[in-house]
Amino acid sequence: MKEHSSDNIIEQATNYLSSITENPRLESEILLADLLQKDRTDFYKRSIPIDQASYKKYQTILSQRHLGMPLAYLTGKKEFWSVLLKVNEHVLIPRPETELLVEQCLFIINNYENPSVLELGTGSGAISIALAKEHSQIPFTATDLSTKALDLARQNAIQNHVTNVSFKQSDWFQGISEQFSIIVSNPPYVDRDELTRDQVSKLYYEPEIALYADDSGQSALSHIIKTSHQFLNKHGFLLLEHGYNQQDFCQKQMHESGYTNVMTYQDSNHLPRVTMGQIK
């Protein structure tokens, strides 16, 4: 049976993916390493023989990537805040920008005595698990409307030895009865009408419910801001991730809802990304 060498097929794959990604060589290596259950650095030590069955599987994976399926869905994993998470088509792929939300939430937790934290729309569990690994004695509650997302989030918690997050199905605050010190959320905030056809196609494989919101992408943000004060302790904090052009909207809504000390923080691209407020 014909065998192929890793050097040759990685070179072929790099050429094939060059039209759809800025890092075709890196992605080619990641996908092959995942298929073969090897470390990517192994390809630099020697050329590895690839049997025909593995070669065919690799071609199928490359075809899916070429059609736009995200790398994280093809490998089934994504790193976030140095935490390795399982991901699939039922959850949004964690973005580097969201680490700013974790960073700002940790700053508050570190200066708060015995806080309790609620995350709305947890998806893969990325935010709560990242926070919980930093503070294993603090109780976290993480909600999501999707039972499939919650199943995956629970798996991620177990995989990362996190035991202080309680996962609960809830449509935003619908299933919540207690109050918290901190509420944090990365809700859907994308305005589909604002996107180009190319931008929409790049988001095609991710769950629409986790991406898009009505009213120019503002409906979920508005609902959380207007309702959250009922579920916060006195002087509690609300932290929200939002779009680069939604800073003024979030600040205005927070002020109108009784929040003080309202501030917006920029992500690594110097774009407004997280707005925080404190209830009176």
Where residue 197 falls among pLDDT bands split at 50, 70, 90? Answer: confident
User: What is the per-residue pLDDT across 47-62, written as a single tens digit (0 to 9) for each?
Assistant: 899 999 999 999 999 9
Q: What is the pLDDT of residue 85?
A: 98
The predicted-structure confidence for 67-83, as pLDDT tens digits, reads as follows 999 999 999 999 999 99
Nearest to residue 279, comparing CAs of 219, 223, 239, 242? 239
Indicate whether 225 pLDDT > 90: yes
- Minimal CA–CA distance to 256: which of 233, 274, 273, 277? 277
Put simply, whether the predicted model's pTM sits higher than 0.85 gets the answer yes
Find the length of the chain: 280
Cα separation of 270 and 141, whole Å? 30
Give 104-170 as a DSSP string.
HHHHHHHTSSS--EEEES-TTSHHHHHHHHH-TTS-EEEEES-HHHHHHHHHHHHHTT--SEEEEE-
Give the Cα separation of 205 and 145 in Å (integer). Answer: 19
Q: What is the mean pLDDT of the chain?
A: 95
- pLDDT of 2 over the 70 cut: no
